[in-house]
């Protein structure tokens, strides 16, 4: 179980590492507005929140 | 503080009934579901039926020793997620290595400290 | 706003913190630590957010757009890996009693004093700028509140007239109060952690209040603010990294730097590892801490935009958090914001200075004092513990004063974040040696020293030294033309790499060269023995998690010496308590004249490490401990750990053919010696194991009775006590028999003990002595004597009694209750007197028959499955019979009982057989 959890967390790290760096970042580095927020601002906080939720889901206690 | 999952199951394997008495008390106190076996053969039978989350395993037992029990547990698909904690008076580095290579994840040495034992079990349950 | 009001509020706030710390320490002493909680742990980790976050991020956003977020995205990104990484750090540190990051690195590379010094120097020099910006933030916070809209007054030349000086002094006292009240070998400060967690809530609350006020009070929500800002010429560019002039390279470097900083900044290591109460808290902190970072950053960008749109250049962007409320008349909100920033600054200073002072005193001051023999030696010392605390306090004062001087001379010309990043880059230098410590076994002490030194020099040359030049302290010639006029050595464009900001540039070169040197030196140097064992301990910590068996190096010392030494560092009360703890834990009693064995020596060293660091402890211990030569076995084990070493020895042997024969001879001789030793060692191992089993249940059940008596029913208590009595009996039986055995084995039969013994009389008399036992079990006993004439042999009467009584009680043990019988038969055959003891027990399976005469073999009783006795009885019996030149054998079939037969030579053979037995 913990092996799978560790692997998931590592994958999460790599995924977010890619999402938060160039070249992907250059796609959203624009003067656009999304839902009223600046595109980049929206994107960074959205990925950030996603990371937090994902970590919380992965480490939550095992229930059977 | 920590409360174990209500369904968490522990199988105690030791040929010394008095040690089993102590271990059983400590684990039940933490609300674990406990089963006991006094030798290797009995342990394997019980493990297959009970599907414990953790097996607390003595090494020096008449008949099949703990290392052999661990090896066989590791071959059982249904017990893939089961963690094995050796609890034994054999404390040399070589013994430990034998323990790890037979498929055990943790190695505690007798005489053990109640708190250390309980913490180890709780921690395994907390981290999976 | 009046200065007195600000000072009063700050003081009230500080008093509140003292109160919290005091309450928590008080309940911690009573065993109920409120700090032992995952949320408190996550909040205390938020000490990461300092005045930099509170004031500086806003300022940074006005020039670098959203790039300020990299500093928080890095740590959040790393959080998923904490599950493995931070856990490992904590396990290692608890196992080794590590108290700082310098301790961590120096321990790993063979408890090296040199490395301790290097890491401490990097940490102290590297972090000084970081502390300086906290002092600066508090000072300009006060200035903004008191002189809003006016130019800040220049600091007066006299120290005591400068407000900053007094802020520094106050901070030093504050830190000393929290960090150096008591000397705890684990360096745990519950009160401090609680106060820091509380401060984290205050700064978050304060910042959110300002953010909400600006976004929803001054503007009509996010949409309104962003729409206005996007078309405003002063803020338009801030919406995009590219337009703000942030290159992908500097974004990536910033992320890497902050990713390292969260692990390596001394205060983060201190809170995350040293103050950690349980590794169980990691899982929750992994998402709560990033969530905290996210929340505190939501309004940074809006506030920066609003400030930039509303203020001209005369208001410094670092002060927007205060200026925006002030300009709109919300003075109380400004004061709250100041308290938030103040709490961010104080928590950083307190934890950082405490962590640095631990390193500074353990790795620099104490080793120096030990070397110069002015500490821990001599008799006129008042108390080592007090002196140690004084050293800590002076260290704190020293560090804060350096920060103050830095701020006064250099820091004032830069904004907060630029200065802070200098420190981040310094902390990142520890990364290669630190990560390698946990995952690269081959890394050596020399590699770590070389890598760290390289990284540090490149860092110093590229960041702080040029910044001093900018401030006019040193000539700025080398910035423009390179050192000695070599253009490849320009500190902002090393080797011609230009066009990036100084921090990314310095981070790139320093980390690259640092890692490269670390790797190449490690690969090409040979680690010391201690380095090897420590490397294994760090990299494979999971092997050691349950037990500390680090005593590969055997060491001894007089217990009195150990006590005296510990006295000097921990004080007498603490020392006595520790020795008592050791005595109870190990069931021994220690006197001053005894020689302490390796595990006690290690125990003392670990305690000492907690107080003064591993390297210093090692130095101190060396002075009184005499190291035993390591045995060949141990050397071999260590050698096996590196292929290289084995390879080396093989080549040596091959090269030297002469040596080869010599080696063979030596090996043979050694083999003989080892065989002798092994017999003895086997015996000791088995006895120890046999003792451990009852001790295990006794220890556990006693503790259960002690701790949970109230939860147990009367019957349970009875049951447990019964077990305790039984197990104690088992131990005393074993001890008696071991003593018997020891005596019997060590002494052959003395000639004066030899006498004519009438065996029939002996058997009858022994049986009579056991009559009670026979009667209880209703077992019939009879003797049949077929010997013509006197039934005599030459022998030691007492020992022969032991033979007979062992055999009789053995038989008695296995025969059934009520229907059992035991018979003795005596007869002559082939010049031997035969004594047979027969029973109608369950019999012994053939495969067990050879085994039962071995030491510690027990046969289970069928009915209970429970063995009785120690397993030594038959071995003793056999030994005695053989000492008499006789023979003991068994004959049995399952279900048909057992027959033990003793053959003793009749007196005419006595002389020759004794001689044979002796040889």
Q: Report pLDDT digits (tens) over C841-864.
A: 888 887 777 777 766 554 443 333
The pLDDT value recorded for residue C538 is: 83
C226 contacts on A by Cβ (under 8 Å)? 33, 36-38
Domain membership flag for residue C533: no
d(CA C207, CA C72): 16
User: In this predicted model, what pLDDT tens digit does every residue of C14-38 receive, in sequence order?
Assistant: 999 988 988 888 777 666 677 888 8
For residues C495 and C515, give the distance between their C-alpha atoms in angstroms, rounded to a whole number: 18
Q: What is the residue-averaged pLDDT of chain C?
A: 80
Considering the domain architecture, whether residues C766 and C736 belong to the same structural domain is answered as no
Residue C657 lies in a domain: no
Non-local (6+) Cβ contacts of C259 within 8 A are C74, C75, C77, C78
Q: What is the pLDDT of residue C603?
A: 78
- Does residue C93 form part of some domain? yes
Assign C917 a pLDDT band (cuts: 50, 70, 90).
very low
User: Which has more pLDDT, C900 or C492?
Assistant: C900
For the stretch C35-54, pLDDT in tens is: 888 899 999 999 999 999 89
Whether residues C634 and C725 share a domain: the answer is no
My answer on whether C785 and C706 are in the same domain is: no
Contact C799, C762 (CB under 8 A): no
Cα(C644)–Cα(C532) distance, integer angstroms: 12
Who contacts C717 (Cβ-Cβ below 8 Å, separation ≥6)?
C705, C709
- The answer as to whether C501 is a domain residue is no
Q: Can you tell me the distance from the alpha carbon of A5 to that of A10, in angstroms, rounded to the nearest whole number?
A: 9
Nearest partner of C548 among C595, C586, C575, judged by Cα: C586
Strands (E), chain B: 9-13, 33-37, 54-57, 83-88, 106-109
Chain B CA closest to residue A2: B128
Q: How confident is the model at residue C449 (pLDDT cuts 50, 70, 90)?
A: very high
Q: How many CB pairs under 8 A join B and C?
A: 85
Measured between CA atoms, the residue of chain B closest to residue A58 is B127
Please indicate whether, in this complex, the C-beta atoms of A61 and B127 are within 8 angstroms of each other.
no
Closest CA to C779 of C817, C824, C825: C817
- DSSP state at residue C472: T
Q: Which of C175, C163, C128, C132 is nearest to C347 (CA)?
A: C175
In contact, B70 and B84? CB cutoff 8 Å = yes
Q: Where are the alpha helices (DSSP H) in C429-523?
A: 431-439, 445-462, 464-470, 477-481, 502-523
Query: What is the arithmetic mean of pLDDT over B79-106?
Result: 87
Confidence tier at C642 by pLDDT (50, 70, 90): very low
Nearest CA distance, A55 vs chain C (angstrom): 6
Write out chain A residues lying below 8 Å of B127, CB-based: 2, 5
* β-bridge partners, C860: C867
Mean pLDDT of B94-122: 88
Residues C710 and C573 in one domain: no
pLDDT at C602 over 90: no
**Residue C569: left (phi > 0), alpha (psi -120 to 50), or beta?**
alpha
Interatomic CA distance for residues C623 and C616, integer angstroms: 11
CA atoms within 13 A on the CB side of C194: 21
Q: What is the pLDDT of residue C637?
A: 41
Which spans in A1-64 are helix H? 2-19, 24-28, 39-59
* C868 C-beta neighbours (distance < 10 Å), count: 16
Spatial distance between the Cα atoms of C288 and C294, rounded to a whole number of angstroms: 10
Note whether C728 and C759 are same-domain residues.
no
Give the per-residue SS3 of C318-361. HHHHHHHHHHCCCHHHHHHHHHHHHHHHHHHHHHHHHHHHHHHH
The DSSP bridge partners found for residue C785 are C826
For residue C722, being part of any structural domain is answered with: yes
Nearest to B89 among C637, C693, C723 (CB): C693
How far, in Å, CA of C576 to CA of C681, rounded?
34
Parallel, antiparallel or unpaired: strands C792-796 and C754-758: antiparallel
Let me know whether C790 and C727 are in one domain: no
Looking at C99-113, C233-247, C681-695, C778-792, which range is the least confident one? C681-695
**Among C175-179, C593-597, C731-735, where is mean pLDDT lowest?**
C593-597
pLDDT band at C660 (very low <50, low <70, confident <90, very high): low
More confident residue, C575 or C631: C575
From the CA of C223, how many Å to the nearest CA of chain A?
A: 5
**Amino acid C424: pLDDT:** 92
Q: So what's the pLDDT on residue A4?
A: 80
| Averaged pLDDT, C745-760 | 78
Q: Cβ contact (<8 Å) for C251 and A22?
A: yes
Percentage of chain B exceeding pLDDT 90? 37
Lowest mean pLDDT, pick from B57-61, C46-50, C52-56, C497-501 = C497-501
Q: For position C474, what pLDDT does the model report?
A: 76
Report yes or no: C419 and C135 within 8 Å, Cβ to Cβ: no
Indicate whether C248 and C196 sit together in one domain: yes
What pLDDT does residue C338 have?
94
Which residues 23-62 on chain A approach chain C with CB closer than 8 angstroms? 23, 25-26, 29-31, 33, 36-38, 40-41, 44-45, 48-49, 51-53, 55-56, 58-59
Query: Do C200 and C28 contact (CB within 8 A), yes or no?
Result: no
Stated length of chain C: 919
Whether B90 and chain C come into contact, CB under 8 Å, resolves to yes
Chain A residue nearest residue C74, CA to CA: A17
Question: CA C152 from chain center: how many Å?
Answer: 49
pLDDT band at C242 (very low <50, low <70, confident <90, very high): confident
A19 touches C at CB < 8 Å: no
What is the structure's pLDDT at C199?
Answer: 94
Least trusted range by pLDDT, from C470-474, C608-612, C782-786: C608-612
pLDDT, mean of residues B37-58: 91
H-helix or E-strand containing C554? none
- Give the domain-ending residue among C725, C744, C763: C744
Residue A61 with chain B: CB contacts under 8 Å: 5, 126
Check CB contact under 8 Å for B81 and A5.
no
pLDDT number for residue C814: 83
Question: C387, C410, C433: which is the final residue of a domain?
Answer: C410
Q: Say which residue, C664 or C195, is predicted with more confidence.
A: C195
**Closest by Cβ to B19, choosing from C549, C696, C707:** C696
In a domain, C180, yes or no: yes
| C43 & C108 share domain | yes
Do C711 and C836 reside in the same domain of the chain?
no
In a domain, C661, yes or no: no
pLDDT at residue C105 greater than cutoff 50: yes
Backbone φ, ψ for residue C844 (5° rounding) = -115, 125
Residue C416 lies in a domain: no
Tell which of C239, C258, C500, C542 to mutate to test the A interface (max A CBs under 10 Å).
C239
Q: Determine if the peptide bond prior to C911 is cis (ω within 30°).
A: no
Between CA B116 and CA C696 the distance in angstroms is 13
Task: Please tell me whether residue C607 adopts helix, strand or coil conformation.
Answer: helix
How high is the pLDDT of residue C616?
65
Does residue C555 carry a pLDDT above 80?
Answer: no
Phi and psi angles of residue C574, each rounded to the nearest 5 degrees, phi first: -60, -45
- Which pLDDT does position C514 carry in this prediction? 95
pLDDT(C325) > 90? yes
DSSP of C131-169, one letter per residue?
A: HHHHHHHHHHHHHHHHSTTSPPPPPPSSGGG-HHHHHHH
**Listed residue (B30, B46, B35, B56) closest to B112, CA to CA:** B56
Kindly state the average pLDDT of the residues C300-314. 89
Which of A36-50, C263-277, C654-668, C835-849 is predicted with the least confidence, judged by mean pLDDT?
A: C654-668
Residue-level pLDDT at C729 = 80
Query: Burial level of C18, CB count in 10 A (0-12/13-18/19+)?
Result: middle
pLDDT tens profile C365-396: 888 877 775 554 443 344 456 677 888 888 99
A45, A55, A56: residue with CB nearest C294:
A45
Q: Give the separation between CA C907 and CA C755, rounded to whole angstroms.
A: 10
Of C652, C687, C709, the domain-final residue: C652
* DSSP summary character for residue C416: H
Question: At C898, is the secondary structure helix, strand, or coil?
Answer: strand
Flag if C700 and B17 touch (Cβ within 8 Å): no
Owning domain of residue C727: 677-744
Which of C552, C693, C725 has the most B C-beta neighbours within 10 Å, making it the best mutation to test the interface with B?
C693
Start-end of H helices in C747-887: 759-769, 771-776, 797-814, 846-849, 873-883
Rounded mean pLDDT, C743-769? 80
Question: Can you give the CATH number for the domain in which C852 is found?
Answer: 3.30.565.10
Cα C176 to Cα C181: distance, rounded to the nearest angstrom: 7
All structural domains of chain B: 9-127 (3.40.50.2300)
Cα gap A50→A56, rounded to integer Å: 10
Mean pLDDT, residues C144-152: 77
* C229 close to C238: Cβ distance less than 8 angstroms: yes
The pLDDT of residue C635 is above 80? no
Position with higher pLDDT, C486 vs A38: A38
Read off the pLDDT of each residue in B66-71 and give the average, rounded to a whole number.
Answer: 92
Domain count, chain C: 4
**Lowest-confidence segment of C149-163, C305-319, C494-508, C848-862 by average pLDDT:** C848-862
Distances (CA, A) of C139 to C318, C411, C486: 12, 12, 41
In this structure, the answer to whether residues C804 and C835 fall within a common structural domain is: yes
Chain C: partners with 3+ C-beta pairs within 8 Å: A, B
Q: Are residues C805 and C736 in the same domain?
A: no
Boundaries of every domain in chain A = 2-59
Least confidently predicted of C140-149, C418-427, C665-674: C665-674
For residue B31, give Cα distances in angstroms to B1, B10, B54, C697: 14, 10, 14, 21
The pLDDT of residue C560:
73
Residues contacting C94, CB < 8 A, separation 6+: none
pLDDT band at C679 (very low <50, low <70, confident <90, very high): low
The full DSSP string for C70-84 is HHHHHHHHHHHHHTT
Dihedral pair phi/psi, residue B31, rounded to 5°: 70, 30
Q: Are C679 and B79 in contact (CB under 8 A)?
A: no
C779: pLDDT strictly greater than 50 = yes
Q: What is the 3-state secondary structure (H, E, C) of C613-660?
A: CHHHHHHHHHHHCEECCCCHHHHHHHHHCCHHHHHHHHHHHHHCHHHH
**Which residue is closest to A45 within chain C, CA to CA?**
C294
Strand, helix or coil for residue C857: coil
For B:46-75, CB contacts with C below 8 A are 60, 62
In this structure, is the dihedral angle defined by the CA atoms of residues C386, C389, C390 and C391, taken in order, positive or negative?
positive
What pLDDT score was predicted for residue C523? 92
Q: Which of A7, A57, A59, A62 to mutate to test the interface with B (most CBs of B within 10 A)?
A: A62
Weakest-pLDDT range from B13-17, B34-38, C610-614, C855-859: C855-859
C531 near C433, Cβ under 8 Å?
no
Distance, in angstroms, between A35 CA and closest chain C CA?
9
CB C75 within 8 A of CB C290: yes
* Chain A residue numbers touching C243 (CB-CB < 8 A): 31
CB contact at 8 A, C286 and C80: yes
Does A64 sit within 8 Å of B5, measured CB to CB? Answer: yes
Least confident segment among B108-122, C615-629, C747-761, C836-850: C615-629
At residue C552, the pLDDT reads: 33
**Does the distance separating the beta carbons of C543 and B96 come in below 8 Å?**
yes
Neighbouring residues of C527: CB distance < 8 A, sequence distance ≥ 6: C110, C442, C444, C445, C535, C642
A63 CA to chain C: closest CA distance, Å?
16
Say yes or no: C334 and C253 in one domain: yes
Distance between CA C333 and CA A26 in Å, rounded?
38
Q: What is the Cα–Cα distance from C518 to C448, expressed in whole angstroms? A: 6
Longest dimension (CA), chain C: 130
CB contact under 8 A, A2 and B127: yes
Query: How many angstroms separate the most distant Cα atoms in chain A?
Result: 48
What percent of chain C lies above the pLDDT cut of 90?
Answer: 28
CB atoms within 10 A of CB C557: 22
Lowest mean pLDDT among C176-185, C426-435, C509-518: C176-185
Q: What is the pLDDT of residue C245?
A: 85
Which residues of chain B are within 8 Å of residue A64 when distances are taken between CB atoms? 5, 7
């Amino acid at each position: 179980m913990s092996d799978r959890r560790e692997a998931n967390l590592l994958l999460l790290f790599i995924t977010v590492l890619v999402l938060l760096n160039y070249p992907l970042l250059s796609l959203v580095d624009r003067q656009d507005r999304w839902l009223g927020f600046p595109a980049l601002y929206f994107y960074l906080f959205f990925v950030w929140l996603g990371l937090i939720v994902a970590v919380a889901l992965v480490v939550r206690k095992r229930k059977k | 503080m920590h409360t174990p999952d209500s369904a968490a199951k522990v199988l105690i394997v030791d040929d010394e009934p008095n040690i089993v008495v102590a271990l059983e008390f400590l684990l039940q106190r933490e609300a674990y579901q406990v089963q006991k076996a006094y030798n290797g053969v009995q342990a394997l039978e019980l493990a297959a039926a009970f599907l414990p989350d953790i097996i607390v395993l003595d090494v020096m037992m008449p008949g099949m020793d703990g290392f052999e029990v661990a090896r066989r547990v590791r071959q059982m698909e249904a017990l893939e997620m089961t963690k094995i904690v050796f609890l034994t008076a054999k404390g040399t580095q070589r013994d430990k290595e034998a323990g790890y290579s037979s498929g055990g994840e943790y190695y505690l040495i007798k005489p053990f400290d109640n708190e250390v034992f309980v913490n180890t079990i709780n921690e395994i349950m907390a981290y999976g | 706003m009046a200065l007195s009001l600000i000072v009063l509020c700050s003081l009230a706030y500080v008093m509140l913190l003292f109160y919290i710390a005091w309450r928590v320490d008080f309940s911690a002493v009573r065993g109920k630590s409120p700090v032992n909680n995952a949320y408190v742990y996550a909040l205390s980790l938020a000490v990461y957010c300092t005045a930099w976050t509170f004031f500086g991020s806003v300022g940074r956003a006005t020039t670098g757009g959203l790039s300020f977020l990299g500093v928080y995205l890095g740590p959040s990104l790393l959080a998923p890996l904490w599950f493995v990484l931070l856990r490992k750090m904590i396990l290692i540190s608890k196992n080794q009693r590590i108290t700082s990051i310098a301790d961590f690195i120096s321990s790993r590379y063979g408890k090296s004093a040199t490395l301790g010094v290097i890491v401490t120097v990097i940490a102290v020099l590297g972090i000084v700028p970081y502390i300086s910006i906290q002092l600066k933030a508090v000072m300009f916070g006060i200035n903004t509140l008191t002189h809003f809209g006016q130019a800040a007054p220049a600091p007066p030349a006299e120290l005591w007239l400068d407000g900053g000086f007094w802020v520094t002094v106050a901070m030093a006292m504050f830190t000393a109060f929290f960090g150096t009240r008591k000397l705890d070998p684990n360096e745990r400060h519950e009160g401090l952690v609680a106060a820091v967690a509380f401060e984290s809530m205050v700064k978050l609350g304060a910042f959110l209040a300002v953010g909400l006020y600006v976004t929803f009070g001054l503007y009509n929500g996010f949409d309104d603010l962003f729409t206005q800002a996007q078309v405003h010429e002063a803020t338009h560019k801030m919406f995009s990294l590219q337009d703000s002039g942030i290159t992908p390279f500097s974004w990536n470097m910033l992320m890497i730097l902050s990713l390292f900083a969260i692990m390596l900044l001394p205060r983060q290591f201190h809170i995350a590892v040293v103050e950690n109460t349980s590794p169980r808290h990691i899982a929750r902190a992994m998402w709560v801490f990033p969530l905290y970072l996210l929340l505190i950053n939501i309004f940074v960008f809006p506030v920066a935009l609003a400030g930039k749109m509303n203020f001209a250049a005369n208001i410094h962007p670092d002060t927007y958090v205060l200026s925006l409320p002030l300009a709109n008349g919300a003075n109380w909100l400004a004061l709250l914001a100041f308290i938030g920033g103040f709490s961010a600054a104080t928590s950083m200073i307190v934890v950082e200075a405490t962590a640095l002072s631990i390193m500074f005193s353990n790795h620099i001051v104490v080793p120096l004092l030990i070397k110069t023999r002015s500490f821990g030696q001599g008799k006129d010392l008042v108390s080592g513990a007090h002196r140690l605390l004084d050293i800590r306090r002076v260290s704190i004062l020293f560090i804060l004063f350096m920060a103050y001087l830095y701020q006064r001379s250099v820091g004032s010309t830069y904004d907060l974040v630029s200065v802070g990043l200098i420190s981040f880059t310094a902390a990142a230098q520890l990364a290669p040696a630190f990560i390698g410590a946990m995952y690269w076994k081959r890394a050596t002490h020399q590699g770590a020293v070389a890598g760290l030194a390289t990284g540090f020099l490149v860092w110093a040359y590229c960041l702080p030294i040029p910044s001093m030049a900018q401030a006019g302290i040193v000539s700025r010639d080398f910035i423009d033309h390179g050192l000695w006029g070599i253009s490849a050595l320009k500190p902002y464009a090393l080797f011609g790499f230009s066009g990036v900001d100084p921090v990314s540039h310095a981070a790139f070169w320093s980390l690259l060269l640092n890692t490269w040197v670390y790797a190449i030196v490690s690969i090409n140097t040979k680690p010391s023995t201690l380095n090897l064992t420590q490397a294994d301990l760090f990299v494979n910590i999971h092997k050691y998690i349950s037990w500390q068996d680090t005593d590969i190096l055997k060491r001894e010392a007089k217990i009195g010496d150990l006590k005296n030494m510990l006295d000097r560092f921990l004080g007498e009360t603490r020392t006595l308590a520790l020795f008592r703890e050791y005595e109870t834990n190990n069931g021994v009693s220690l006197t001053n004249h005894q020689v302490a064995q390796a595990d006690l020596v290690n125990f003392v060293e670990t305690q000492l490490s907690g107080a003064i660091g591993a390297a210093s402890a090692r130095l101190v211990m060396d002075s009184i401990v005499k190291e035993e030569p390591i045995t060949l076995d141990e050397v071999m084990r260590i050698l096996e750990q590196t292929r290289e070493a084995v390879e080396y020895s093989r080549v040596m042997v091959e090269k030297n053919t002469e040596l080869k024969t010599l080696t063979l001879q030596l090996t043979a001789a050694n083999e003989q010696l080892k065989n002798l030793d092994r017999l003895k060692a086997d015996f000791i191992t088995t006895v120890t194991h046999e003792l451990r089993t009852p001790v295990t249940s006794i220890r556990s059940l006693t503790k259960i009775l002690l701790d949970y008596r109230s939860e147990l029913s009367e019957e349970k208590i009875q049951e447990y006590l019964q077990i305790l009595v039984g197990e104690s009996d088992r131990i005393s039986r074993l001890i008696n028999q071991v003593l018997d055995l020891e005596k019997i084995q060590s002494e052959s039969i003395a000639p004066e003990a030899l006498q004519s013994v009438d065996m029939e009389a002996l058997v009858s008399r022994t049986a009579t002595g056991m009559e009670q036992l026979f009667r209880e079990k209703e077992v019939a006993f009879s003797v049949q004597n077929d010997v013509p004439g006197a039934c005599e042999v030459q022998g030691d009467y007492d020992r022969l009694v032991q033979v007979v009584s062992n055999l009789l009680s053995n038989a008695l043990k296995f025969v059934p209750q009520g229907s059992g019988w035991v018979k003795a038969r005596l007869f002559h055959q082939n010049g031997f007197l035969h004594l047979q003891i027969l029973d109608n027990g369950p019999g012994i399976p053939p495969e067990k028959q050879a085994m039962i005469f071995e030491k510690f073999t027990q046969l289970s009783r069928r009915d209970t499955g429970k063995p009785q006795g120690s397993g030594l009885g038959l071995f003793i019996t056999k030994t005695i019979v053989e000492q008499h030149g006789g023979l003991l054998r068994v004959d049995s079939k399952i279900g048909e009982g057992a027959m033990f037969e003793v053959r003793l030579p009749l007196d005419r053979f006595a002389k020759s057989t004794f001689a044979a037995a002796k040889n």
